[in-house]
């Protein structure tokens, strides 16, 4: 069974650029959530996708957008990058979107640096 | 969203038990208590969860207070590999499955 994978591992961009991060969910999972983790902080929920539809969003501006594909893999897009977007971006997949007891399986993350 | 409170850091000696506390005084009746941990340079990983009764799995035990306002994650014999940030998270049916992470407890394990 393949776990959650993310690409790229590291990325360096300049302010104002756009970036796309990718996530392949664990086999059999139909839900993907994205989190942003600044240095020394806990992860912050960005949004969740369930069966290709956005299913909840955290306190992030519209320049953070996403997609989920029929195979349940997902992309996170960030436009007009700002210095504060520098962080570890984590993807997590799960069997169900709303279950209270469902565990989420996290990938290793993409480290984004904005200069 | 109900909030949790954890100590910023704890220390333990290798092969000794570790008790990581979490306070969640505003927990609702349908909130599950989840624990995740994040090893250095990795994404978080699920440890255990429970609702009312104490729970055991291969990684840890979860002791839940009778009034559910606090819980304790128990690592029975800490190893160096258990050094991580431990997050206590409340997960209810109203939050679309998102995990709300706090600062967590940084556990150091000394050889």
Give the whole-angstrom CA distance, residue A105 versus residue B13: 29
Q: Which residues of chain A have a CB within 8 Å of the CB of B58?
A: none
Q: What is the C-alpha separation between A82 and A78, in angstroms, rounded?
A: 10
What per-residue confidence (pLDDT) applies to A100? 65
Structure confidence by residue, pLDDT tens digits, A54-95? 988 999 999 999 999 999 999 999 999 999 999 999 999 998
Contact at CB, A96 and B97, closer than 8 angstroms: yes
* A-chain residues near B104 (CB < 8 A): 42
Here the tokens at position A79 are: 């436009």
**Integer angstrom CA distances of residue A53 from A65, A70, A74, B105:** 12, 11, 11, 34
Instruction: Convert A17-52 to b/e letters by CB count within 10 Å (16 or more is b).
Output: eebebbbbbbeebbbbbbbbbeeeebbbbbbbbbee
Model pLDDT for residues B32-73, shown as the tens digit of each residue: 999 999 999 899 999 999 999 999 999 999 999 999 999 999
How many other CB atoms are there within 10 angstroms of residue A56's CB atom? 17
How many Cβ pairs closer than 8 A exist between chain A and B? 72
């Amino acid at each position: 069974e393949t776990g959650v994978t993310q690409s790229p591992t590291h990325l360096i961009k300049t302010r104002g650029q756009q970036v796309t991060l990718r996530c392949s969910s664990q086999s059999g999972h139909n839900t993907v959530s994205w989190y942003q983790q600044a240095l020394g902080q806990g992860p912050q929920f960005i949004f969740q996708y369930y069966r290709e539809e956005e299913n909840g969003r955290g306190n992030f501006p519209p320049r953070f957008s996403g997609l989920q594909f029929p195979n349940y893999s997902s992309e996170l897009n960030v436009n007009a990058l700002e210095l504060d977007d520098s962080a570890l971006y984590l993807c997590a997949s799960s069997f169900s979107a709303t279950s209270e007891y469902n565990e989420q399986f996290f990938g290793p993350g993409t480290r984004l640096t904005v200069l | 969203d109900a909030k949790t409170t954890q100590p910023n850091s704890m220390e333990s000696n290798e092969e000794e038990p570790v008790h990581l506390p979490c306070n969640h005084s505003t927990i609702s009746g349908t909130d599950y208590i989840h624990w995740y941990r994040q090893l250095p340079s990795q994404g978080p990983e699920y440890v255990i969860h429970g609702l009312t009764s104490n729970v055991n799995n291969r990684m840890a035990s979860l002791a839940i207070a009778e009034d559910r306002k606090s819980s304790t994650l128990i690592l029975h014999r800490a190893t160096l590999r258990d050094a991580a940030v431990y997050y206590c998270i409340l997960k209810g049916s109203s939050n679309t499955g998102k995990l709300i992470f706090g600062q967590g407890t940084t556990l150091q394990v000394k050889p």
